[in-house]
Structure 1
Amino acid sequence: MIFSGLSVTLATTYWLMVMLFTIVYVRIRAEIGMPYTWVYPYGMQREILFLALGVPSNLRHLALLGGFFWLSRHFFLPLNAAYAADAIKLIAKGNIISSKFSIWGFAGGAVGLWIAFFTHLQAYYRRGANFLEGTPGTGDFRTLVTVQDYRWLSQLVDNPHLLRRERLSWVVYGTAVSGALMVLRRFWTSSPWHPLGFILAGAYGHLCPYWFPCLVAWVVKGLILHYGGMRLYRKLIPYS
């Protein structure tokens, strides 16, 4: 990001936000086992950057942040990090040499990423993003998301007050509560309040769609432990 022309402060802060969200997503996947992709408020990484540092006055920096929006809007980093966590578990169970797996994994990821860039950009420049996937003149969903984001950034240039500053206080509140729950669970291991559960419950605001499937999983787990104990529970866990 720095080599593209983005300032060191913006690039470092944005990458830090993206990595923090990715780490939390992996912990949710590893500890809770939530088999779903959108377990984070997408786009919030960059919005926190704007709320904390303000909208960049440099239009080039703003345009570059729009170009790197795919790191926070879509799920390339979280999903691949979750796959890596799954792979680590499989390596441990299969007695595979982890160093070789890591080398081939990073190499394959790098090659695959550049192939994806090449194929998409080649198709976009040859055919036009607005004429792909059978939607002539309007573009597919990804094209619409891209156009929507640049329009939003253009509006922020003219009216920075469109950002809801109170959202930063909500971020601080959520961070404080999550930290308090982490400390509580450290000293009270049987605490029923899990910090990842609190984060998951607010991943989509008060309209979070995950509460019912999590409730069902919690009830099923309780029944298994009650009637079958840890022996049955471990037998039913994949790759345990």
Structure 2
Amino acid sequence: MLQILIPLISGVFLLATPENEWMSLFGKYIKDWIVVRDKEILLLYSQGESSFYLRRHILVWIKPIAAWGSLVVALTIVMACISVILRRRWTEQEKLSYPIIQLPLEMSHTDFWQNRLMWLGFALAGGIDVINGLHFLYPSVPGIGGKLYDIAPFFTEKPWNAIGWTPVALFPYAVGMAFFIPLDLSFSCWFFYIFWKVERIAAASIGFRNLPGFPYLDRQASGAYLGLFAVAMWGSRRYLADVVRKVIRGETEKQGEPVSYRIAFILGGAAFIYILLFCLRAGMSLWVAVAFFALYFALSTAITRMRAELGSPVHDLHFSGPDMILTTALPTRSFSPYDLTAISFFHFFNRAYRGHPMPHQLEGFKLAERSGMNVRRLFFAIIIAGTLGFFASAWGYLDAAYRYSGKTGYAWRAFSRLESWLTAPRPSDIPATAAIVVGFGSTLLLYWMRMRFFWFPFHPAGFAVSNSWSINLFWFSIFVSWLIKYLILKHGGIKTHRKLIPFFLGLILGEFVVGGFWTLRGVLFKTPTYKFLF
């Protein structure tokens, strides 16, 4: 968040010029308490070779950092309270598998470190990274993969060139992580990735020139995630009704909850009201603020459910959040300039959702349950850690920015979009809105088919995540992992599958340990180094 937020609250003035007329266009709609307007201080931030530890610099930055920090803390509290309310349903009643926590959980057991298959996987993944790291430093040493190989240049003629960027890469840790994804989801991830590519080629073949965004893949993904939320809430409807009844009657819950449902409702409700008050003070209309954050928390809950159930390795949902949903479905004239300006500042937590905190919160509660930790203390630790983490990160970012120069690039996309909204108001984008509905309906259809026919191979979550930007990096690794797992289950059965689990955990651990070593080496020696991802 911070790497985008600080460039937003500084870059809007640094990038403003007489030519783009940003200040005359929307400068008056920006409240002073959420930004830094002092151009001299901002130039030092941008140029570097200065110090953050000057009284004038600190005083200018305290107010906006504190304001945005309070919003982030409120968001953290609401998400933690939603996790508390849904925890028992998803963890104890539905018994979701939480694949992401398997490695840290196993690492707490002595047997894990004594397993030869784990060390074999560790050596394989770590060895590849050792060789590739040496290849980076000494090119005469041959490398082993570790790169993205784009196959798009092989498709030069129409309509095949519409396939776009299609990298092929094999990452050991991704193969290991995908091994713990249910077979139907891993199949759906790579299948629907290819499906999206075919859809792009088909659109180019048909030639919808009057619909430049067709087939609106980002909008379909937004609808798909909202469909996942609807499915999750429908499946939990009786449980949620019971929770509401307990809150109203003041009934006590079973032991083991981080906080009582009543406290979760009160604390989460108070935090949500604070968010709305923050928006109102920033100039937003109440209905826009409610709609925006209702969509945001719906997407957050869908991502959390998907991680808890399926352990999806990607869920970035680039440029498909509530800011784009609202301005697609409604005419931009429906929003005041204050609404659109505030929405542009919210770009820092809506640009992408790949590092979303809410799935980690629920996974933390699951780890606490499995390890016997005090979940009540963990609940408050999450909120405290989120608060301290925000302000510590802001401090570290500004310290580095004033020494080495700070970024402003993230502000360009957000405020160029705001400029277009204000100078060229658009009506509702009917085709793009229809794509959102299609994505939503497709998810419901896939879910219904899975409930109706036990053999149905397509998972609705795979339909949603397969259009993420990050899936470009991992689709081939997921395919390889799916193929390995399929062959193991077909020819070796569940017993062989369980026996090989430590090997795939070793792949994950080995790549991250050795990859982390190369990263630390680069930091300590201040030199370029090998990156194991790409």
TM-score by length of 2: 0.38
After superposition, the Cα gap between the structure-2 partners of 1:178 and 1:106, relative to the gap in structure 1 and judged at 3 Å, is same
Matched, 1:211 2:488: no
Write the deviation string for residues 135-177 of structure 1: whole angstroms up to 9, x where unpaired. Answer: xxxx53xx21222211111111111239754211111000001
Deviation, 1:54, is 2.7
Aligned residue for 2:456, secondary structure, equals coil
State the partner residue of 1:220: 484
Is the Cα contact below 8 Å between 1:25 and 1:39 reproduced in 2? no
Q: Please tell me whether Structure 1 or Structure 2 has the larger radius of gyration of its CA atoms.
A: 2
**Relative contact order (C-alpha < 8 Å, sep 6+): which is higher?**
2
State the partner residue of 2:520: none
Q: Name the CA distance, whole Å, in 1 between partners of 2:399 and 2:404.
A: 11
After superposition, the Cα gap between the structure-2 partners of 1:220 and 1:70, relative to the gap in structure 1 and judged at 3 Å, is same
Of 456, 462, 466 in structure 2, the residue corresponding to residue 197 of structure 1 is: 462
Deviation, 1:16, is 1.8
State the partner residue of 1:157: 422
Is the Cα contact below 8 Å between 2:329 and 2:428 reproduced in 1? no
Of 220, 228, 233 in structure 1, the residue corresponding to residue 497 of structure 2 is: 233
State the partner residue of 1:2: 276
The residue correspondences of 1:19-168 to structure 2 (distance < 5 A) are: 19-36=297-314, 39-55=316-332, 56-75=334-353, 79-117=356-394, 120=397, 127=402, 133-134=404-405, 140=407, 143-161=408-426, 164-168=429-433
Q: Name the CA distance, whole Å, in 2 between partners of 1:155 and 1:123.
A: 34
Q: Name the CA distance, whole Å, in 2 between partners of 1:144 and 1:160.
A: 24
After superposition, the Cα gap between the structure-2 partners of 1:44 and 1:164, relative to the gap in structure 1 and judged at 3 Å, is farther
Aligned residue for 1:191, secondary structure, equals coil
CA RMSD of aligned residues (A): 3.0
- Which amino acid is the alignment partner of residue 218 of structure 1? W
Is the Cα contact below 8 Å between 1:42 and 1:74 reproduced in 2? yes
Aligned residue for 1:73, secondary structure, equals coil
After superposition, the Cα gap between the structure-2 partners of 1:112 and 1:11, relative to the gap in structure 1 and judged at 3 Å, is same
After superposition, the Cα gap between the structure-2 partners of 1:224 and 1:42, relative to the gap in structure 1 and judged at 3 Å, is farther
Is the Cα contact below 8 Å between 2:329 and 2:433 reproduced in 1? yes
State the partner residue of 1:13: 291
Q: Name the CA distance, whole Å, in 2 between partners of 1:234 and 1:86.
A: 22
Q: Name the CA distance, whole Å, in 2 between partners of 1:208 and 1:160.
A: 33
Can you give the 5+ residue segments of structure 1 that lack an aligned partner in the other structure? none
Aligned residue for 1:67, secondary structure, equals helix
Q: Name the CA distance, whole Å, in 2 between partners of 1:57 and 1:13.
A: 12
Q: Name the CA distance, whole Å, in 2 between partners of 1:226 and 1:154.
A: 57
The residue correspondences of 1:150-189 to structure 2 (distance < 5 A) are: 150-161=415-426, 164-189=429-454
Write the deviation string for residues 56-102 of structure 1: whole angstroms up to 9, x where unpaired. Answer: 542122111111111211438x5212222332332232122222211
Q: Name the CA distance, whole Å, in 2 between partners of 1:17 and 1:72.
A: 11
Can you give the 5+ residue segments of structure 2 that lack an aligned partner in the other structure? 1-274, 506-534
Deviation, 1:119, is 5.6
Deviation, 1:211, is 3.4
Q: Name the CA distance, whole Å, in 2 between partners of 1:228 and 1:88.
A: 34
After superposition, the Cα gap between the structure-2 partners of 1:151 and 1:16, relative to the gap in structure 1 and judged at 3 Å, is same
After superposition, the Cα gap between the structure-2 partners of 1:19 and 1:169, relative to the gap in structure 1 and judged at 3 Å, is same
After superposition, the Cα gap between the structure-2 partners of 1:212 and 1:45, relative to the gap in structure 1 and judged at 3 Å, is farther
- Which amino acid is the alignment partner of residue 360 of structure 2? Y
Q: Name the CA distance, whole Å, in 2 between partners of 1:152 and 1:19.
A: 23
Deviation, 1:209, is 5.2
Is the Cα contact below 8 Å between 2:318 and 2:353 reproduced in 1? no
After superposition, the Cα gap between the structure-2 partners of 1:191 and 1:160, relative to the gap in structure 1 and judged at 3 Å, is same
Aligned residue for 1:2, secondary structure, equals helix
Is the Cα contact below 8 Å between 2:447 and 2:460 reproduced in 1? yes
Aligned length: 223
Is the Cα contact below 8 Å between 2:443 and 2:463 reproduced in 1? yes
Q: Name the CA distance, whole Å, in 1 between partners of 2:486 and 2:369.
A: 28
Q: Name the CA distance, whole Å, in 2 between partners of 1:123 and 1:166.
A: 46
- Return structure 1 stretches of 4+ with deviation > 6 angstroms: none
Q: Name the CA distance, whole Å, in 2 between partners of 1:57 and 1:20.
A: 21
Q: Name the CA distance, whole Å, in 1 between partners of 2:428 and 2:393.
A: 33
Q: Name the CA distance, whole Å, in 1 between partners of 2:438 and 2:453.
A: 22
Is the Cα contact below 8 Å between 1:182 and 1:194 reproduced in 2? yes
How much identity, in percent, do the aligned residues show? 20
Write the deviation string for residues 18-49 of structure 1: whole angstroms up to 9, x where unpaired. Answer: 2222223233333333334x532334321101
Moved more, 190-199 or 41-50: 41-50
TM-score by length of 1: 0.78
Is the Cα contact below 8 Å between 1:41 and 1:203 reproduced in 2? yes
Is the Cα contact below 8 Å between 1:224 and 1:232 reproduced in 2? yes
Write the deviation string for residues 152-203 of structure 1: whole angstroms up to 9, x where unpaired. Answer: 1111111123975421111100000101111222233442111001112233
After superposition, the Cα gap between the structure-2 partners of 1:53 and 1:159, relative to the gap in structure 1 and judged at 3 Å, is same
After superposition, the Cα gap between the structure-2 partners of 1:146 and 1:115, relative to the gap in structure 1 and judged at 3 Å, is same
